Structure 1
């Protein structure tokens, strides 16, 4: 039997009623962590870096500057849970009466859909950005999984995957029910993108799970090699930088296409400095490195972003940035610029010791 919910929701928009807030349709809501003031550490960069920025990504320049300034007492919203009834999940979209919520790119177009035959109840922890980028899955969605397992049966539309994803699910104790198109008799969702104490505690829990059984020797730093993986961000002298960090600072270079999740986590868990091209591959470092460590991103001038800083803030790590010359299709970071930034990181972190974590 076809459902007319997509037509109904589109008509609301055409009639000027607006796009309804999906969360407003919850039959129950509860506070998991109350609002609080959180200390947000300032980012670390050389004084002239702003002058190198040609274009920003995922936020305007004032947003970038605000993130890099930090805030010793930033108002942080509550973490919330929401319970819904009578929701269809079809082609990556949640359909309720009067609202919809997209979690994946739709494969099909159309103003109707066939009602799913399967009905169930569960707690959905996935997100649009987590389905789009590996780093957001590992550092956002896998935190929400801890909420889902406590609130009901965790479910996800993500198919089984091999490689790093599959192994991280094992390390993190994740065993969700995998779904296709279904009808939810009851559905639980979360608003869990705010770095309050509850979320930060779950980050440390996930870190402990990933590193369980590892007792490696400390390393001065790791460079996570990106190469041509993921969306194009081609650091033309990436290999040269990796070699010089090894030779002059004693770094280890990690290769995501050659190393499994255990090897990456073990290496990153031994250091207080993770360096690499800004991108999802650095999530291997964020999840494993201890609080008080620093993630240093190397960024092209036409794609400067602090999106990863939101995640290092959650893991209570420092965030640093070098803006290179050129575009995402091909750019360079000069060694002297990187060396001076490493010196600055050493100065700042010596002045601000690692925060205590429970």
Structure 2
């Protein structure tokens, strides 16, 4: 099927033959983030948004107008090499493996509800905290499908614990396809977040933990906290924190720990999604960030799980930065003060 050279790409949702509102637009209370008064001065560069976006997210909004969650039904959609094509519109779900402006229509035809996303295929945290929420919509709509191949490790553990049973597809033609616009933290999405949490956290809670530190090390994209081991050891010895090492702890170990605390800390990154999904509402995720890669993307997710979000910007770059203990302690004091003002 050819695509005209130079023709503008249409939004795939515009090709829908039917659309419906799953949750209406509504006003949502977005809590302010927690950071030391001088933190803006430490920021050298931002990621996934400009500095005004970061400041706006950290301010919060007690009555933020939140768009609806929508469902869309499309017909005669081709899925080829990670791209959906319908009536001159496209949606990319992953990097294409092959170049070219034409493709052969897939021979196999199915119907299904697709719940995956570009960012979920790129980052583990977005898969766990975004795509796995959309799965709940897909299973309600009928037949959940995904182009993501089955994987092991923590992903396999979450698939089992969350009860995900999609059909894994390659290139196919959809006689009928259902998609969702589900990135807005309205009450419906928040309720699904708690449903997924309930599937993970043991019914009998573990002994309460003062905090959990999720060790990142050199995994994933570079965000190297040079004194990470020292911070983890001190938190464990002086504050009673439980330390999670993702190369040793499985999903059950992680769920037991984060389900028993109201404070999760670590270098900003997808590994903190383990803490978000299992910690109860009212808890706080505290991120440690390099000055040249400051982001509040995780706050959009803690907002959905009704948790607090704290940020501490260190000295240095993503290739190597440090966070001083005094700054950690002062930020922990701010979190404790917020908790005292707003007890769960």
Question: TM-score range with shorter-chain normalisation?
Answer: over 0.9
Secondary structure, in 3 states, of the residue corresponding to 2:120?
helix
- Find 1:57's aligned residue among 22, 42, 47: 47
Q: Which contiguous aligned blocks of 4+ residues in structure 1 show a shift greater than 4 angstroms?
A: none
Measure, in 2, the Cα distance between the counterparts of 1:258 and 1:93: 36
Measure, in 1, the Cα distance between the counterparts of 2:318 and 2:37: 22
The residue aligned with 2:324 is 334
- Find 1:20's aligned residue among 7, 10, 19: 10
Measure, in 2, the Cα distance between the counterparts of 1:218 and 1:58: 35
Measure, in 1, the Cα distance between the counterparts of 2:264 and 2:205: 18
Measure, in 1, the Cα distance between the counterparts of 2:49 and 2:342: 28
Measure, in 1, the Cα distance between the counterparts of 2:301 and 2:30: 11
Unaligned 5+ segments in structure 2 are none
> Following TM superposition, by how much is the alpha carbon of 1:263 offset from its aligned partner in structure 2, in angstroms?
0.5
**CA shift digits 1:176-201 (9 cap, x unpaired):** 00000000000000000000000000
Secondary structure, in 3 states, of the residue corresponding to 1:290?
coil
Output the TM-score relative to the length of structure 2.
0.99
**CA shift digits 1:125-148 (9 cap, x unpaired):** 000000000000000000000000
The residue aligned with 1:310 is 300
Measure, in 2, the Cα distance between the counterparts of 1:11 and 1:130: 29
Measure, in 2, the Cα distance between the counterparts of 1:353 and 1:109: 56
**CA shift digits 1:274-325 (9 cap, x unpaired):** 0000000000000000000000000000000000000000000000000000
> Following TM superposition, by how much is the alpha carbon of 1:11 offset from its aligned partner in structure 2, in angstroms?
3.6
- Find 2:25's aligned residue among 27, 35, 50: 35
> Following TM superposition, by how much is the alpha carbon of 1:247 offset from its aligned partner in structure 2, in angstroms?
1.1
The residue aligned with 1:239 is 229
- Find 1:267's aligned residue among 257, 266, 270: 257
Measure, in 1, the Cα distance between the counterparts of 2:205 and 2:308: 23
Measure, in 1, the Cα distance between the counterparts of 2:204 and 2:268: 27
Secondary structure, in 3 states, of the residue corresponding to 1:113?
coil
Output the TM-score relative to the length of structure 1.
0.95
> Following TM superposition, by how much is the alpha carbon of 1:152 offset from its aligned partner in structure 2, in angstroms?
1.3
> Following TM superposition, by how much is the alpha carbon of 1:117 offset from its aligned partner in structure 2, in angstroms?
1.0
The residue aligned with 1:16 is none
The residue aligned with 2:176 is 186
The residue aligned with 1:91 is 81
Secondary structure, in 3 states, of the residue corresponding to 2:113?
strand
Secondary structure, in 3 states, of the residue corresponding to 1:114?
coil
The residue aligned with 2:117 is 127
The residue aligned with 1:163 is 153
Q: How many residues align?
A: 344
8 Å CA contact 2:189–2:304 kept in 1: the answer is yes
8 Å CA contact 2:202–2:255 kept in 1: the answer is no
Q: Does 2:140 align with 1:145?
A: no
Measure, in 2, the Cα distance between the counterparts of 1:285 and 1:26: 36
**CA shift digits 1:25-78 (9 cap, x unpaired):** 100000000000000000000000000000000000000000000000000000
